[in-house]
Amino acid sequence: MASSGHASVPNRFLPPQLATTLQASAAYTLALLAGREDLSYYTGCYTSCMSLHAAAQDGEECTGLGCCQMSIPTNLITTIHMWGNNDSYPPPNNAWRYSPCSYAFIAEKGSYNFTRRDLTRLANKTSSDHIGDRTIPMVLDWAIRDGGSCQAPTKDAGASAKQTAPACISRNSLCVNVTHGSGYLCQCSKGYTGNPYVTDNCTNINECELRKYHCGSNSKCHDTQGDYECKCKFGYKGDGKSEKGCQPIFPGYATAILVALVSLTILVILPYLLLKEHKRRIRRGYFDKNGGKILSGANIVIFSEAKLSKFTNNFSEEIGRGAFGMVFKGINDDNQPVAVKRPIVEGEKPQQGGEFVGEIIFQFHIRHPNIVPLVGCCLETSIPMLVFEFIPNGSLSDMLHGAGKPRSLSLQKRLDIAIGSAEALTYMHSQAGQNNRIHGDVKSGNILLDDDLNPKVSDFGSSKLVSNASKWSVSGDRSYIDPVYLITGSFTEKSDVYSFGVVLLELITRKKAKYDGSNSLPMNFVKTCKKEGNGRKMYDRDIFSGEDAQSQRSIECLDRVGALAVRCLKEDVEERPTMAEVVEELKQVNMHVQ
């Protein structure tokens, strides 16, 4: 023999049955394996092939043509493996040319795949190069072999007690005697997984989550400690794990009658319940999108849609219609009149985020004598409904242009209305730190009058609260819209100034913003002033009469108001006054009247 190898392993490791083989690879090699400490066991195999082409094909089993293998028995603690040439049958001389090396090794069965390259002497193509620096794997069975065997449970331990051993320290573990040699192993009990040799490491397996444990039809899996149950569904009895499974509690005809009754009940009640639940979810969804949680925490008064329907008698009394909604009169729980603004266009995408919520909180806390206060809101519709204090005398538009005999308005009262309205706009424009506190829809229809004809500006922030700002040019009254906005799409405080200029012209002429068909009040007044130097031809004749000093003073005041209105209507926004400047100039005119 040319070479030999010796291997000795601790007796707790043994070759597993039918899993380990003696392998040899060479052109002409005899491989032998001697086992047991007294070398009382021998086995081996022999390889031969006349040429490289006579060897087995790559991947074929090792049957002696270039490689051979031999199963080895269990319980071999010590092994000696030898390989070399058979002196009785020396290889032909040409074998050394293509197969200069011989190999013999113990390996896991199936881990070595023969290839003819293992026989050749091509540069860097030897067997070790082909296999790599690592060795061929060998599998050994492990067991605790020097600690005796499993101990049977005591008689008083109970029927569920299992065999134990000192190494099985985890709860829910058991001892198993090995069949391969002496000794024992520990394993987790059925229904548990983990390391039985570590304290409390065997943990429950949730069989229901693994979905590989069968439950019969009409049953449902329920996990228990170390096991699982298949509980029968409603209307069934038995055990879903058993062969019979879950059986119906009621006979077939009784079940049919019960199903028919239940189905009939469902057909009657279900559509109503579904519709009711659908509406509730829609209302809840709108409530959340409209910032309901934030507004509730900010102590804002929030009404339900049903409550506002009750206040307004199902929205039966319409008292106004604006650019962004219809207004209905209602009576609240305190028997006080309120005005409920309901959006015209349902289904428009509701405002979301901080802008809408901030605008509601801001308006709710506004307290100005010339601004209609916001009482509360309803967030259960796609576009929120707003609840305002009710102003009894209608709008300035109704007062100036309403049907029937027009009500007489003195110059003094008209100036008071103009000054009060302008102060409201000035207040909103002056709110430091607020984001563009513009009105967005200044017109005579949005200036309400109380019992003493004091002005109350309404609809502040409507473009933010009940519509998308980008829709303003479509939904707003175009007679009041700043032409610059139509060009640039930018709505600013000076846009409110322009719209207020149109209101001033309505006050001094008592003409609508668009009168006598398609005549534009702003355009015609500006043309008249350019042509005549003033707008006296268009003034309301009820303000003055005769040639006395008082009438002359009124005309001069109207000239100043008209000139102020023309400045408000300037195409260049930089030439327009601010609302604060408008208030100051109106007050000076008012002093002249008095």
**DSSP characters over 440-484:** S--SGGGEEE-TT--EEE--TTHHHHSS-GGGHHHHS-TTSS-HH
What CA–CA distance (Å, rounded) separates 361 from 363?
A: 6
What CA–CA distance (Å, rounded) separates 347 from 131?
A: 73
Q: Give bridge partners of residue 220 from the DSSP assignment.
A: 231
Name the helix (H) or strand (E) containing 559.
Answer: helix 549-568
Answer yes or no: 441 catalytic: yes
**DSSP characters over 489-558:** ----HHHHHHHHHHHHHHHHH---SEETTTEEHHHHHHHHHHHHSS-GGGS-GGG--SSSHHHHHHHHHH
341 known ligand binder? yes
Backbone angles phi, psi at 47, to 5 degrees: -115, 145
| Count of CB atoms situated within 10 Å of the CB of 486 | 10
Give 287's Cβ-side CA count (13 Å radius).
15
One-letter identity of residue 298: A
| Count of CB atoms situated within 10 Å of the CB of 9 | 14
Q: Taking the mean position of all CA atoms in its chain, how far away is CA 419?
A: 51
> Which residues lie closer than 8 Å to 564 by C-beta, 6 or more apart?
501, 504, 577, 582, 585, 586, 589
> Which residues lie closer than 8 Å to 553 by C-beta, 6 or more apart?
592, 593
Q: Which of 441, 477, 482, 540 is catalytic?
A: 441
What CA–CA distance (Å, rounded) separates 218 from 365?
A: 61
**DSSP characters over 317-347:** -EEEE-SSEEEEEEE-TTS-EEEEEEESSTT
Residue ranges of the annotated binding site for ATP are: 341
> Which residues are the active-site residues?
441
